[in-house]
A and B are shown apart, each in its own frame.
Chain A
Amino acid sequence: MNVLTVLWAETYKELIESRRYTLNLALSIIVQTIIFMGILFLAVSFSPIRTPEAVARTAEVKSFLLIGYIVWTFAMFAVNNMGQDVTTEMVLGTFEQKYMASVSPVVVLAGRALGNVVVSVIYTGVLLPVLILISGVRLSIPWTVFPVLGVTLVGLYGLGYILAGMALLFKRVGQASYAVQLVLLFFGGFTNPGEAGGVVGGFSRALPLTPGVEVIRSLVLDGARLGSLVSTGAVTRLLVNAAAYLAVGLAVFCLCDRVARRRGCIGKY
């Protein structure tokens, strides 16, 4: 019961704070749109010959990029907020109070993550139509995308736990989360690991974003059924990847928590 109450508390607070910082959220949507427009411009620039095949190919690339970009937006929320929020709360002087909740800090952060997902869903709900309008692509999104996205987010929040744990010890992890976001953008959201072989392909597949993006692309762009993706092993890869990242994330966070409490630096900034 306490766990659910804490999850609700964090979600509720996240929503209130997002409402109070509406301008920041709106500006963030504008920035995201600009970045996507830039990426689209680059993609179109690489196919300057306007043959019918090239135009069709460009539309395909746009859809491909749009899906990667949207899932990456969720990843950005997960990675950026988990680490940064810990730092921000330490600066604000509210973090130690959170640590004294009726449940473990892992659950408090899970609540934070849940609140974050709710906000990111609202955010993406606004961003996606804007991006569809700009890119001119047509997307039909089947319901099966949502559970797949949920599992992908589990892995991403596992990565978020790692950054939150690092923030407990090292306080400023802004650059680390920035680096992770870039890696996820270029090696997870936009690449096609099936085409990129070798080390890059392997690295890309090992990221928490890639298996989810692959499955979602198959569902949306190829019209594949979830059942068929289970048989190809894509869903299994996604589940294993997400579970592994979550397990590692929790283990790293618990270790960092113990070290921080031993050092007496929880809440210190």
Chain B
Amino acid sequence: MVVVSDITKVYGQDAVSRLIRRRLVKALDRVSLEIRGGEVFGLLGPNGAGKTTLIKILCGLVLPDGGTATICGFDILRQRTRALACLGAVLEGNRNVYWRLTVKENLTYFGHLKGWIGRRLKRRIAWLLDYFGFKDLAREPAANLSRGWQQRLAICVALVNDPPILLLDEPTLGLDVESARSVRDLVQRVAADQGKTVILSTHHMELARHLCRRVAVIDRGRVLTCSDAHALFQGASTQSYRARVAELPPEALERLRVRLGSVAPKAVIGTDDHEVVITLPDVRWESLFDMLSLLRDEGCNFLSLSRGESDLDEVFLDVVRAGREADGPGGSGA
């Protein structure tokens, strides 16, 4: 459905930028992805990772320096208008709709821009108004809608020509919890009912876990991992025990580390603000008792013991950190 091959983008390479010695920024570095029809695909990454650049290349708004991207078999560079007919997009930080126009006028206008006219467009708009819950708001100017409903309208407008692919760049950015959840549920419904391919760029892990079948983690313009979302987030569902004890002298800490390694090899010892934190990613009682006996034997001064789940964000950060360590120090400068 969407095939991205070796896409590279370096900003600051044009003649004027070179003349004023603008810093080169490598936004994408030989990125390759294949997104299958009907799946919800997540592009995850920190700010400045290159997600928006990739989305904008797919929208024909940014020209890549190398590589190719095809949408429904159409090359975005050579067959731009045919490729664009296959996708609708909601871009980050944009209004995406005209606030002075009503809901229906926005749909009509963008429908025309996408080449739809007459009864076909009217039928489509009537269906969209009903499906997106805009039936009673059709004559309402977009400016009068709440932020969440404006975002809902932007998604509605992106689907006005019934494209097989929906691109969403940070769709829940700036929304309150309720609106974000509503948008999330809407995207899920669109993907499930309509069989749309959804490409979702976000740095909200919960959103990605909820919606995506597969995810790619991007950082500094490189794809660090592209895998099944379930597999990536599996670590996050691992429960663990966390014991906090008072600060230990270095030799006692080292002894504890060695002994704990033989009793509970998966345990991780860290220090944090005059405390020692021992995380045991193993919820069996025996392992817990072994650890507690050891801490008592070592004369540790207990502060707390808790049981919890790993943070989704931690899983994401682990992937990013591992990528950066493999990459070595440096920014996104080319």
The smallest beta-carbon distance between A158 and chain B, in angstroms, is 23
Stretch in A121-129, A178-186, A222-230, A261-269 touching the partner: A261-269
A100 touches B59 (CB 8 A): yes
A99 touches B60 (CB 8 A): yes
A102 touches B62 (CB 8 A): no
Stretch in A3-11, A37-45, A58-66, A189-197 touching the partner: A3-11
Q: Is B9 an interface residue (CB 8 A)?
A: yes
Bound complex: CA A122 to CA B83 (Å): 38
Interface members, chain B 69-87 (any A CB < 8 Å)? 81, 84-85, 87
The residue of chain A having its C-beta at the shortest distance from the C-beta of B118 within the complex is A5
Knowing A8-B112, A102-B84, A266-B61, say if A92 contacts B117 (CB, 8 Å).
no
Q: Is B93 an interface residue (CB 8 A)?
A: yes
Stretch in B96-104, B250-258, B277-285 touching the partner: B96-104
Q: Tell which of A20, A92, A108 touches B113, judged by Cβ atoms closer than 8 Å.
A: A108
Bound complex: CA A9 to CA B17 (Å): 37
A101 touches B95 (CB 8 A): no
Bound complex: CA A13 to CA B109 (Å): 7
Task: Summarize B's interface: helix, strand, loop or mixed.
Answer: loop
Contacts of A266 in B (CB 8 A): 61-62
B113 touches A262 (CB 8 A): no
Interface members, chain A 221-269 (any B CB < 8 Å)? 258-259, 261-264, 266-267
Most chain A beta carbons < 10 A, residue from B16, B59, B94, B113: B113
Q: Is A57 an interface residue (CB 8 A)?
A: no
Bound complex: CA A9 to CA B116 (Å): 10
A5 touches B93 (CB 8 A): no
Bound complex: CA A12 to CA B108 (Å): 10
Contacts of A47 in B (CB 8 A): none
A101 touches B11 (CB 8 A): no
The residue of chain A having its C-beta at the shortest distance from the C-beta of B9 within the complex is A264
Interface members, chain A 68-93 (any B CB < 8 Å)? 92-93
Count residues of B near A (Cβ-Cβ below 8 Å): 41
Bound complex: CA A99 to CA B84 (Å): 10
The smallest beta-carbon distance between B163 and chain A, in angstroms, is 10
The residue of chain B having its C-beta at the shortest distance from the C-beta of A169 within the complex is B16
Q: Is B187 an interface residue (CB 8 A)?
A: no
Contacts of B81 in A (CB 8 A): 102-104
The smallest beta-carbon distance between B17 and chain A, in angstroms, is 7
Q: Is B332 an interface residue (CB 8 A)?
A: no
Bound complex: CA A96 to CA B93 (Å): 11
Contacts of B11 in A (CB 8 A): 263-264
A101 touches B113 (CB 8 A): yes
The smallest beta-carbon distance between B232 and chain A, in angstroms, is 29
Count residues of A near B (Cβ-Cβ below 8 Å): 33
The residue of chain A having its C-beta at the shortest distance from the C-beta of B61 within the complex is A266
Task: Summarize A's interface: helix, strand, loop or mixed.
Answer: helix
Bound complex: CA A267 to CA B55 (Å): 14
The residue of chain B having its C-beta at the shortest distance from the C-beta of A8 within the complex is B112
Knowing A8-B112, A100-B59, A102-B84, say if A17 contacts B100 (CB, 8 Å).
yes
The smallest beta-carbon distance between A251 and chain B, in angstroms, is 17
Q: Is B320 an interface residue (CB 8 A)?
A: no
Chain B 108-123 interface 0/1 with A at a Cβ cutoff of 8 Å (1 = within) = 1110111111000000
B94 touches A93 (CB 8 A): yes
Contacts of B17 in A (CB 8 A): 263
Q: Tell which of B13, B61, B63, B108 touches A96, judged by Cβ atoms closer than 8 Å.
A: B61
Contacts of B105 in A (CB 8 A): 13, 16
The smallest beta-carbon distance between B218 and chain A, in angstroms, is 16
Q: Is B89 an interface residue (CB 8 A)?
A: yes
The smallest beta-carbon distance between A166 and chain B, in angstroms, is 13
The smallest beta-carbon distance between A112 and chain B, in angstroms, is 11
B109 touches A12 (CB 8 A): yes
The smallest beta-carbon distance between B80 and chain A, in angstroms, is 8
Bound complex: CA A9 to CA B113 (Å): 7
Contacts of A175 in B (CB 8 A): none
Enumerate the 8 nearest inter-chain pairs by beta-carbon distance, A residue then B residue, closest first. Answer: A9-B112, A93-B94, A102-B115, A93-B95, A2-B115, A101-B113, A264-B62, A261-B63
User: What are 11 inter-chain pairs, A to B, with CB distance below 8 A?
Assistant: A5-B116, A6-B113, A6-B115, A9-B113, A16-B105, A94-B95, A97-B91, A102-B113, A102-B161, A263-B14, A267-B94
